[in-house]
Structure formats: C-alpha cells, structure tokens
Structure 1
Amino acid sequence: MHGPAVVTWLVAALSVGAAALCTVRIRAGAGRGCTGAAGDPAGRESDTAEALMALGMAGMALLPGPVWGWLFTVLAGAMLLGVLGRAGAAGPRAHRLHHGIGALAMAYTALAMPPGAGHGHAHHLAAGAPPVTGALLVYFGAYSLWGGSRLLSAPAGGGPVAVAGAAAGSGPAVLAGGLGRACRVAMGIGMFAMLLTM
C-alpha cells in the first residue's frame, strides 16, 4: 500500500482487529449474520468471509503485490456465484453481494498497485482507473456512514454500549449483532482508506 506509513500500519491494525473479532464470533458460535439466529450457517459464512478479507487486507497493506489480486478475484467469484446460485433470504444474499464487491475492490487495488509502483510503467498502473476508484470510494464511504449510523442508532438492548456493558455475564450473545456490524464498518473504513492512497 502506498501513502504515509502511519496509514498503512493503521489499516493493517484495523484489519487484524476486525479479523480477530470475526474469529472470536466463529469460535463462540455467535455468528448471527443476516438471519438473526445464533450459530446459523449464514452467520458463520459471513464471519468467515469477513475474517479472510480482513487478513488479506492487512497482508495487502503491508506486502502489496499482484498475488493478492488473484486471491481476491477467486473469493469475489465465489461470493458472486453464491448471490446468483443460491435461493434464500435477502439478507444472506445482500451480505454475499457486499463481500463480493469488497473482494473485487481489493483485487482491483492489489492489481493496480504492484510492488515498485511509481517507477516507469508501474507508475501508470498505480493510478488505477479514476472512474472505478471514484465509484468504489463512493460505495465504501456511503456503506461506512450507513453502517456507522446503524451502530449509533441501535436500540439500547443491541447497541455496542449495551454489548460492552453485558460482557461479564452473557457469553456468546455478547458477540452477536453489534460486533458483526462493527466488523463490517471497520472493513469498509479500511477499504476506503486504501482506495484514497491510489
């Protein structure tokens, strides 16, 4: 990732933190995903995709290179095929679509910013395609604002403050809902920051 070193390390730290939260949710069986049922397969799928994407984003920030682009292209294909090929509730399909867009955005960023960007021909690649970069910035900026506003306006029983306050005694339920949304918002902010460096 190109740009100030502090931004690179902040994005990496944010991504590792998001991956850790998702991993804890998976291990606790609290993945509610979109259906609201604790431990449901859609929730585990969503948490697993977010953990993989977060770890990939951290790796991409610290060790940029085109190999990440191909890995994220495969993940994007799997998510988008899941949107097209599986019937079911709108919530899981919307999550797969969001993850597919996120994986495509990371593939685009990785392929547009290979190591050595700024030298010769690679400088041209580092700029990316301004319309694509702009559209992705709008998407992830809007998603982060929308997701953040949902966290702030959550009912008292499900908001992040209530989740933190209940941590001592409610077990896996603490890890549901609000933290899942917080993971997605963190990933959206991280993607927005990466796109800004292009």
Structure 2
Amino acid sequence: MSLSSSVSAWLLVLLCATSGAYCLRRAGRSGGGPAAGEAAMGFGMALMAVPLRLGGDWQTPVLGAVFCAAALHAVWLLRGGPHHAHHLVGSLTMVYMALASGAGTGGHGHGRDAGLPLLTGLLLLYYAGYVVLGGARLVTVGGPGTPAGPGEVIRACRLTMGMGMLAMLLTM
C-alpha cells in the first residue's frame, strides 16, 4: 500500500468515526431510532476502512453480523415509511463489502477483484446520485454567513457517510 493510499484510508477512518460519534451523540439524546443505525454504520465503516488487518480473519464475520443486524433494524424502521429505505440499502451494501473484502483476498484486506462488477457498479451509481443530491440539498439550505443548524449538521453527516461508501466501493 502506497503512502498516499494509506493516508487516504486513515482519513476515511477518521471521517467515518467522527460521523459515527456525532450520530451516537444524537442517538443518546433522541433515544435511538435512525441515529443509532447511522452511528453503527459510521463506526463499522471506520473499522472496515482501517488499512491494517488486525490479527486474523475475525473482521469479515463480525462486520457481516453487525451489518446484518443493522439491515434488520432498517427493515423495522421501514414500518414508519419508505424514507428509511436508504438505511436498508446502506446496511446491505456494508454486508456486501464485508463479504467481498474477506472473500476477494482470502480475508486479508480489500481485493481489487472482490465483488460482483454489476452489483458494485449499481451501488456506485446509487451512492454517486445520493452524494450529488445530498450535496445540492446542503448547499441550498443556507446562504453565506448563515450559521449551520442541527439539520444541516445531520445532512452533512449523512453526506459524509455517503461519500465514504462511494470511496469504499471504488476500492473494490
């Protein structure tokens, strides 16, 4: 792994962990809900993005189980309406990436040939659209000099995780 890709990976870890921490704080105040799932997603993405394999092949099954649980939580949230479908897509994407990264290189890191090209391409399109639309919504919220409110910070956190997903999919 080159120095620049290692630095990029650690920046992605930091970004995802920070988003996870913010969502965890939000979940503590609101009693869980979507923020708890977003916190799990942020921390899981941070762990998956760590460029070092931390002792053995435990990461693939553990991350797979965590994101399967997050997918079940997202299905539960769908009772409240289809606006929670993104959480389900995100959780299933993380299951896919955990399995593909473990299988693609014998469980020792992200492999270039890991995953199904068509599925990876569709997920790349989904997250590219999500990031572009999320960025456009964030830009149109306030004008220059307008202080960011809690709604904008939540949108920025979600946009950050969408960009992280896009970056992780690009490495597959």
Q: TM-score range by the shorter chain?
A: 0.7 to 0.9
Match of 2:72 in 1: 77
Superposed displacement of residue 183, structure 1: 0.8
Alpha-carbon RMSD: 2.9
Whether contact under 8 Å (2:16, 2:161) holds in the other structure is yes
Matching residue's letter, 1:54:
G
The structure showing larger relative contact order (alpha-carbon pairs under 8 Å, at least 6 residues apart) is: 1
Superposed displacement of residue 123, structure 1: 6.0
Counterpart of 1:53 (choices 41, 65, 87) is 41
Counterpart of 1:141 (choices 114, 122, 128) is 128
Q: Distance in 1 between the 2:105 and 2:5 partners?
A: 15
Q: Distance in 2 between the 1:160 and 1:78 partners?
A: 38
Q: TM-score, normalised to structure 2's length?
A: 0.80
Superposed displacement of residue 4, structure 1: 2.3
Matching residue's letter, 2:90:
G
Superposed displacement of residue 51, structure 1: 0.8
Whether contact under 8 Å (1:151, 1:160) holds in the other structure is no
- CA distance change for structure 1 residues 160 and 180 in 2, over 3 Å: closer, same or farther? farther
Q: Distance in 2 between the 1:160 and 1:128 partners?
A: 44
Q: Which moved more, 1:10-19 or 1:73-82?
A: 73-82
Q: Distance in 2 between the 1:190 and 1:110 partners?
A: 14
Superposed displacement of residue 161, structure 1: 4.3
String of CA shifts for 1:139-164, please: whole Å, max 9, x gaps.
Answer: 111101100110100144xx99422x
Question: Which structure has the greater CA radius of gyration?
Answer: 1
Q: Which runs of 5+ in 1 are unaligned?
A: 30-38, 164-173
Is 1:19 aligned with 2:4? no
The runs of at least 4 consecutive aligned structure 1 residues that moved more than 4 Å come to none
Match of 2:170 in 1: 196
Q: Which runs of 5+ in 2 are unaligned?
A: 54-58
Whether contact under 8 Å (1:21, 1:179) holds in the other structure is no
Whether contact under 8 Å (1:66, 1:110) holds in the other structure is yes
Identity of aligned residues (%): 38
